[in-house]
Amino acid sequence: MPGRMLVRFLLLQKRLLKRVSFLLMLCLAPLLSAGVGRLSGEPAGIATVALYLPEGDAAAQEISERLLDERGVLRYLSCEDEERARRMVETGEADAAWIFSEDLSERIEELAKKRRVRPVVTVVERQDSVPLILGREILCAAIYPFFSYAVYTGYVRDELGLAEMSDGALRRIYDSVAVEGSLFQMVYADETPGEAEDFTYVQAPLRGILAIWFTFVGLAAALCFMRDEARGVYGRIPVTRRLSASYTAGAAFLLDAALVLLLSCKLAGVFTNGKNEVICCAVFAACVLAFTNLLRMLCRTPRRLGMIFLPLLAAMLALCPVFLNLQNFRAGKLLLPPWYYLQSIHNTRYLYGMAVYTAILVLVSAVLQRVQSRSV
Amino acid sequence: MRQAGAYFLAQLKRAARLLPGQILADMIVCVCVGALACLLIAQGAASAEGSRYRIGMVGDLSDSYLGFGIAAVQEMDDSRFMVELVPMSEQEAQDAFLRGELYAVMRVPEGLMESVVYGKNDRLITYTATQGQQGLGTMVMGEITDVASTLVTCSQSAIYAMQRVLADQGRGEEIGRETDQLNLALINLVLSRGGFGDVEVLGYGDGLSLELYYFSGMILLFLLLSGLLNSALFAHGNGAVFCFLKARGVGAFWQILGEFLAYLLLVSVGLVMLCLPLGFGLERGLLGIPEWEGMGAAPFLAFLPVLFPAAVMFAAMQFFLFEAAEGIVNGILSQLICGIGMGYLSGYFYPSAFFPEKMRALGALLPSGAAARFVQAGALGKIPAAAWAAVFVWLSVFLGLTIMVRWSRTR
């Protein structure tokens, strides 16, 4: 029995790989991933900020370097004058302009002396929005190092009565005790640090897109099996054994698609580590195989199966964490294989969940197969 | 010509037979999307009413300074309107996070405050904001924690430097008092940090609001992917029939024209099915689109004709993909990857302004980009000639290519 299944699997694989159009179709996924992966290296941001910083001012110079070198979620464009920065906002080239005072260093020192916060930057915005509120926090964080330093020097000279201390001496002491680095670290559920994976938000949805595509490969395989069945390709296999035949046929499709999925994740830049990826992908493939076969058995005709494609796609786009990460509809999410796969990459709990779900799907399919074969 | 007309009628009958199923599937999609939209609107309303992102704080929260810090963030900082810090046990936090009740879980390591007080900063606060791989939300949270980190470390540096100065001067006994004073001064400055910027909002709105942008994007995405729903029409493609038809005088051009017009019927019905609940939602004020506020469904009805050229162009693209893909399996998979890929690049999921320059340019060049430009311009009431031309060119290209593929098959 397993020998026959293997022969059937190999014959189906040969039939698939001989079709140039199938191979070309498989190439579309890596092509999209490679394209987006490559283009995502360019500067991008959820908001564009035009920066005008006065020339020759040390603080301005450092703030400018800090912001322009940063690889965050905002994009900065340097402007030669204030008018240009304002014009960029007016014409829509930028969402906001940050126009720093001409005497930035002096102004910071003056305010630090009084220990007061007053505007040192004019923030020009087209419309207020969430990214720009975040931007203002980033702006404060860029100014604060100079401000806190000026507060320290002012405090030492005025409050401690050490007015004679030179700038050089104060700076040397400050540098000798300066605290660097972040106090926070993003970690995944499996304790992997966030910085272990280097990709941008432009690349982030690609794994989800590929997972949905992979599920549709399974659906297409189920459709193909139905057509073959109607043509009598499986006429010699008893109805009671059709389930294993459909699993073999689906596996032929999904094996190729799984290799493409792994390659595409690598090209997209969202690949984690080989062992983890292969295990998650293998369980996902089994889950998709069982899921699509159950749908095939429930729908019974290619036309009905075709009808559920769009609603299923809408459900997967809405409920799986591809573009949105909704906190509700947990019951709906539990039914979708891509949801388990996307969560399982850094959380073995979902990997086990996916395995259990696969077992349930196979069990339900087997029962349904028995019921349907009796009624034939 | 008569033969071509008969062929068109036959195709029309085939399409009509699919209509009931298609209408049912459209209704399911509308229910799914409607439920999602209602949920998002409800969430938006809840956040407008003051509901905040809940972040579970677990670990060693016993230190009184830390307690004061959390209280300060909750009571005085600007972030109090957006974030709620909830101290809880590890197990409670894990369960709540899995249930989706927490946006993130922050773990405070043992001895954090000692590490901060002595300037070692070797104990990091770890946070988990996602079950899967990180996305845009997690990256934004990363930016926020970077800001918080900068504020803390710079304040620490100022205090330690002041302490060192006092120690060097042999005034060690003053360190405690002066540290408290400088600490207080810095905390006040951090809490009023919003005052560094003088904000001028120009209120320019020559583009679409985000709501109308996504509204038109969702309709276009539906049209772009509706080929999946109509796949049954292509399930019985047979090369021999096409050759037979050609022999009877119905060439590749007339075959495609007949089939395409019938296919358009399915696409148009799908569009109408989608627009009915949208129109109803707008009429009842369930969908808040700033540009159409208080105007009912009238602006949407005026906007409807704008969607039709885009629908025809997408129909031609789907038709071409099914024709070129050889077989229903390849047809469906190419529809899917082209639909989602093009939709993503052309800004149907995230605004295209989020993407790098080259990606934006590529997205605008694609058929999905041409349709988006056309529909967005239509929503603003003025469609430039270039937008018309782009849609027309893509339509001609797809129809031309489809005819070529059919012609080469019937040779």
- Which among A32, A128, A186 has the least Cβ separation from residue B129? A186
Asked if A359 and A211 sit in the same domain, the reply is: yes
Q: How many of the other CB atoms lie within 10 Å of CB of A369?
A: 20
Which candidate from B24, B196, B232 shows the least CB-CB separation from A306? B232
Q: Is B180 on the interface with A (CB under 8 A)?
A: no
Q: Is there a single domain that holds both residue B253 and residue B360? A: yes
The answer on A19 and A148 residing in a single domain is: no
Q: Does B176 touch chain A (CB under 8 A)?
A: no
Structural domain includes residue B149:
yes
How many domains does chain B fold into?
Answer: 2
- pLDDT, position A9: 87
Q: Give pLDDT tens digits for A131-186.
A: 888 898 899 999 999 999 999 999 999 888 888 889 899 999 999 888 887 888 88
Q: Which residue of B has its CA nearest to A215?
A: B333
Nearest to A149 among B139, B158, B326 (CB): B158
- Alpha-carbon distance A373 to nearest alpha carbon in chain B (angstroms): 26
Residues 1-20 on B with a CB inside 8 Å of A are 18
Residues B168 and B230 occupy one common structural domain: no
Domain limits at A77?
47-196
Contacts of A227 in chain B (CB under 8 A): 235, 328
Cβ-proximal residues to A264 (8 Å cutoff; 6+ apart), any chain = A29, A30, A32, A33, A34, A206, A210
Residue with tokens 């304040």: B155
Q: Which residue of A has its CA nearest to B186?
A: A148
User: CA-to-CA distance for B388 and B408, rounded, in angstroms?
Assistant: 30
Q: Which two tokens stand for residue B280?
A: 């109803």
Report yes or no: A33 and A268 within 8 Å, Cβ to Cβ. yes
CA distance B2 to chain A (A): 31
Chain A, chain B: beta-carbon pairs less than 8 Å apart:
383
Shared-domain flag, residues A146 and A260: no
Q: What is the H or E stretch that residue A228 is in?
A: helix A206-231
Distance CA B13, CA B19 (A): 10
Q: Which among A196, A219, A246 is the end of a domain?
A: A196
Q: What is the pLDDT of residue A344?
A: 94
B132 neighbourhood in chain A, CB within 8 Å: 321, 342-347
Helices (H), B248-286: 252-283
Give residue B345's pLDDT.
Answer: 93
- Cβ within 8 Å, pair A73-B200: no
Kindly list the residues from chain B whose CB atom is less than 8 angstroms away from the CB atom of residue A273.
none
Give the residue from B162, B190, B218 where a domain finishes: B190
CA dist A216 → A23, A310, B134, B261 (Å): 16, 11, 24, 28
Whole-angstrom CA distances from A327 to A41, A334, B98, B250 are: 30, 13, 9, 55
What is the pLDDT confidence band of residue A376, given thresholds at 50, 70 and 90? low
> Given A121, A148, A188, which is nearest B197 (Cβ)?
A121
Q: Is A74 helix (H, G, I), strand (E, B) or coil?
A: strand
Q: Which residues in chain B are closer than 8 Å to A104, comparing Cβ atoms?
A: none
Spell out which residues of chain A touch residue B66, defining contact as CB-CB under 8 Å: none
Q: Find which of A48-57, A278-287, B33-42, B330-339 is predicted with most confidence, using mean pLDDT.
A: A278-287
**Which chain A residues contact residue B164 at CB under 8 A?**
173, 176-177
Residue B340: other Cβ atoms inside 10 A? 26
Residues A291 and A227 in one domain: yes
Do B212 and B355 reside in the same domain of the chain? yes
Q: Does residue B249 lie within any of the structural domains?
A: yes
Q: Based on the domain organization, do B223 and B147 belong to the same domain?
A: no
- Residue B339 is predicted with a pLDDT of 92
Option in B131, B325, B354 nearest A189 (CB):
B131
- Residue listed under structure tokens 């987006």: A36
- On whether both B134 and B67 belong to a single domain, the answer is yes
| B36 CB within 8 Å of a chain A CB | yes
Give dist(CA B327, CA B324) in Å, integer.
9
Q: Which range is least confidently modeled, A50-54, A198-202, A284-288, B8-12?
A: B8-12
What pLDDT does residue B237 have? 58
Q: Which residues of B touch A343 (CB under 8 A)?
A: 131-132
What pLDDT does B400 receive? 94
Identify the CATH number of the domain in which residue B102 sits. 3.40.1710
Tokens representing A226 are 């139905």
Which pair of structure tokens corresponds to residue B139?
């990256």
* CATH number, domain containing residue A180: 3.40.190.10
* Residue ending a domain, choose from A147, A168, A196: A196
Residue B322 in any domain: the answer is yes
**Same domain assignment for residues A136 and A233:** no
Q: Helices A242-268 and A20-39: crossing angle, nearest 10°?
A: 30
What ipTM does the predicted assembly reach? 0.87
| pLDDT-wise least confident of A102-111, A200-209, A242-251, B64-73 | B64-73
Same-domain pairing of B379 and B403: yes
A53 and A191 fall within a common domain:
yes
**Same domain, residue pair A220 and A77:** no
Taken in order A338, A343, A345, A347, the sign of the CA dihedral is: negative
Domain shared by B171 and B302, yes or no: no
- The share of chain A scoring above pLDDT 70, in percent, equals 99
* Closest to A199 (Cα-Cα) out of A345, A17, A12, A351: A345
Classify residue B42: in a domain, yes or no: no
In angstroms, rounded to a whole number, what is the distance separating the alpha carbons of residues A146 and A84? Answer: 26
**Beta-strand relationship, B104-108 and A47-52:** unpaired
Q: How many domains does chain A contain in total?
A: 2
User: Same structural domain for residues B257 and B398?
Assistant: yes
SS3 B57: strand
Q: What are the tens digits of pLDDT across the range A118-128?
A: 888 999 998 87
Q: Does a structural domain hold residue B85? A: yes
Residue written as tokens 């050229």? Answer: B309
Q: Which residues of chain B have pLDDT under 50?
A: none
Residue written as token pair 């007016």: A90
Mean of pLDDT over chain A: 89
Please tell me the number of Cα atoms within 13 Å of B396 on its side-chain side.
6
Beta pairing class for A47-52 and A74-78: parallel
Residues A201, B354: C-beta atoms closer than 8 Å: yes
Of the candidates A338, A325, A341, A212, which has an alpha carbon nearest to the alpha carbon of residue A276?
Answer: A341
Which domain-ending residue is among A169, A196, A223? A196
| A186: its two tokens | 């993003």
Domain boundary, last residue among B190, B220, B252:
B190
Looking at the structure, do residues A334 and A218 belong to the same domain, yes or no? yes
- Residue B207 with chain A: CB contacts under 8 Å: 92
The number of beta carbons lying within 10 Å of the beta carbon of residue A100 is 24
Higher pLDDT: A75 or B60? It is A75
Instruction: Report CB contact under 8 Å: B119, A121.
Output: no
3-state secondary structure of B41: helix
Question: Do the Cβ atoms of B150 and A134 come within 8 Å?
Answer: no
- Do A279 and A130 belong together in one domain? no
Domain span at residue B253 reads 2-37+208-410
Task: State whether A72 and A176 are in the same domain.
Answer: yes
